[in-house]
Homo-oligomer: A and B are copies of this chain.
Amino acid sequence: MAGALEQIGEWWSLLIVRECTLGTTRFDDFQQRLGIARNVLTTRLNTLLEHGVLVKVVAEGSERRTEYRLTEKGEALYPIIVGLMQWGDEWCSSRKPIRLVEDSTGKPVEPVSLRVGPRTLGLRDVRLEAGEGATARTAEIIDARNKAILGK
């Protein structure tokens, strides 16, 4: 997640990505809808462009304007954005403002969760193991986590 953090930067960046998933593409629209300082927005957009989360395109048509669009890498954040929305709906608000459904069937999108086949897992159902990129430090963190959370 440190990697993800560096790439996304901070909350403003995730909110910008969220705005993109809502169809916002223009600087002024991001600025207005997020109520974010223009210089902060510029910095965030540039970071997201540098990291390939967004791409800058010139819109078709007579009025040739710049648009910011999600890349495949950016769209891969959608489950996280939806998960945050669902978390907010479940824990922070009384009545859900937005419902997500599968476009082709109208069936409700399920809550974002940790799964193994049909099973939904919580914090204590998960064990960490060292991956091929694990360092000695990672191994320490993994051991400490499994001891603290799983008691082993």
Which residues of A approach B to under 8 Å, CB–CB? 1-11, 15, 18, 21-25, 51, 70, 73, 75-85, 87-110, 112-117, 119, 121-135, 138, 141-142, 144-145, 147-150
List chain B residues, Cβ under 8 A from A9.
11
When A85-B4, A133-B96 are in contact, do A102 and B116 touch as well, CB less than 8 Å? yes
Question: Roughly how many angstroms separate A50 CA and B110 CA in the complex, as a whole number?
Answer: 29
List chain B residues, Cβ under 8 A from A115.
109-110, 115
B89 touches A3 (CB 8 A): yes
A116 touches B121 (CB 8 A): no
A interface SS class: mixed
A109 touches B96 (CB 8 A): no
When A23-B147, A116-B105, A133-B96 are in contact, do A11 and B5 touch as well, CB less than 8 Å? yes
Question: Roughly how many angstroms separate A92 CA and B74 CA in the complex, as a whole number?
Answer: 12
Question: Roughly how many angstroms separate A10 CA and B5 CA in the complex, as a whole number?
Answer: 11
List chain B residues, Cβ under 8 A from A149.
21, 23
Closest-CB distance, A137 to chain B (whole angstroms): 9
